[in-house]
């Protein structure tokens, strides 16, 4: 990245903070939701393999990094130099196999070392650092992934699947008992065990469900369009008709 281009961006944001009524009113708290939205737009561009859009969205995300930092800098919390210096030192510290004398056998050992180094930096638990605000599906995946990095993991996928079946059976038992609180817990255990199985297969469940959500949207909109073509809205249809168009969408839209 051109240092000059980055400095120009910083100057633009600093000027906006002084001269734009909207920008000058913002706080780290007021723009945090927009930061999350920009992050998801980056992910969407990656999923769509739209590199022109990815270029744009990464620019928006970079803007947020600079914006948040300048806001904090104005209150003397930290500076942009400290942010850059901090991440540079962290990368060097957590890659002793690149910047030091440590030897590793592969990426698995790199991940294990990464977690061990984090603990040496003062963390009390391997699980620290997994954001509470992450979507629950992704958070479950990251918690399991971190535990697995230090050896807390199943050895065979068959055993992981047995655990999934066990949790489903326990869920059905809770359903029959009529205890809604216990049922919620057991459904949570089913999700957690499925996330674990997906991880064991090398599939990120958040990515998988996001794809399924998009597929559902496309197919359901197909159903809606077919019914609209008859001069009615979907609330005037019935399940039989909707099922017919749903099956048709699978053929016409694919997977």
Mean pLDDT of the chain: 92
Local confidence band at 118 (pLDDT 50, 70, 90 cut-offs): confident
**Is pLDDT of 131 > 80?**
yes
**Is pLDDT of 231 > 80?**
yes
Percent residues over pLDDT 70 in the chain: 99
Tell me the average pLDDT across 174-188. 92
Structure tokens that stand for 70 in this block: 């300048």
Q: Which of 37-46, 49-58, 125-134 has the lowest mean pLDDT?
A: 125-134
Q: Give 125's contacts (C-beta < 8 A, 6+ positions apart).
A: none
Angle between helices 51-74 and 32-47 (to 10 degrees): 160
CA 255 to each of CA 213, 215, 219, 224, 243: distance values in angstroms, whole numbers, following the listed order = 12, 7, 10, 18, 17
Tell me the average pLDDT across 129-154. 89
Structure tokens that stand for 52 in this block: 């022109």
**Is pLDDT of 1 > 60?**
no
The reported pLDDT for the residue numbered 23 is: 96
**Is pLDDT of 159 > 60?**
yes
Tell me the average pLDDT across 13-38. 95
CATH 1.10.287.1080 at 3-86, yes or no: yes
Tell me the average pLDDT across 151-159. 92
Choose among 130, 132, 158, 133: nearest CA to 146. 130
Local confidence band at 35 (pLDDT 50, 70, 90 cut-offs): very high
Domain boundaries defined on the chain? 3-86, 154-203, 207-253
The reported pLDDT for the residue numbered 84 is: 94
Local confidence band at 151 (pLDDT 50, 70, 90 cut-offs): confident
Per-residue HEC secondary structure of 65-115 comes to HHHHHHHHHHCCCCCHHHHHHHHHHHHHHCCHHHHCCCCCCCHHHHHHHHH
Task: Answer for the pair 69, 80: CB distance below 8 angstroms, yes or no.
Answer: yes
More confident of the two residues 78 and 126: 78
Q: Which of 11-20, 40-49, 105-114, 241-250 has the lowest mean pLDDT?
A: 105-114
Q: How far apart are CA 14 and CA 77, in angstroms?
A: 16
The reported pLDDT for the residue numbered 217 is: 94
Tell me the average pLDDT across 44-67. 95
Q: Which of 17-31, 139-153, 187-201 has the lowest mean pLDDT?
A: 139-153
């Amino acid at each position: 990245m051109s240092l000059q281009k980055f400095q120009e961006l910083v100057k633009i944001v600093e000027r906006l903070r002084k001269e734009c009524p909207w920008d000058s009113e913002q706080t780290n708290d007021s723009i945090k939701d927009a930061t999350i939205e920009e992050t998801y737009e980056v992910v969407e561009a990656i999923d769509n393999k739209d590199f022109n859009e990815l270029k744009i969205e990464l620019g928006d995300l970079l803007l947020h990094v600079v914006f948040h930092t300048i806001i904090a800098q104005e209150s003397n919390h930290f500076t942009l130099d400290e942010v850059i210096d901090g991440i540079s030192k962290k990368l060097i510290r957590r890659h002793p196999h690149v910047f030091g004398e440590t030897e590793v056998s592969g990426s698995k050992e790199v991940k294990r070392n990464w977690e061990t180094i984090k603990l040496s930096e003062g963390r009390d638990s391997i699980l620290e650092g997994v954001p509470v605000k992450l979507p629950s599906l992704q958070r479950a995946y990251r918690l399991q992934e971190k535990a697995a990095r230090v050896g807390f993991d199943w050895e065979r996928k068959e055993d992981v699947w047995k655990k999934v079946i066990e949790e489903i059976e326990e869920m059905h038992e809770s359903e029959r008992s009529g205890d809604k609180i216990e049922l919620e817990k057991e459904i949570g255990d089913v999700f957690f065990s499925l996330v674990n199985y997906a991880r064991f297969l090398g599939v990120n469940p958040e990515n998988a469900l996001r794809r399924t959500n998009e597929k559902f949207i496309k197919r359901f909109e197909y159903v809606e369009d077919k019914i609209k073509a008859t001069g009615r809205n979907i609330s005037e249809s019935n399940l039989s008709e909707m099922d017919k168009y749903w099956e048709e969408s699978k053929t016409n839209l694919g997977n």
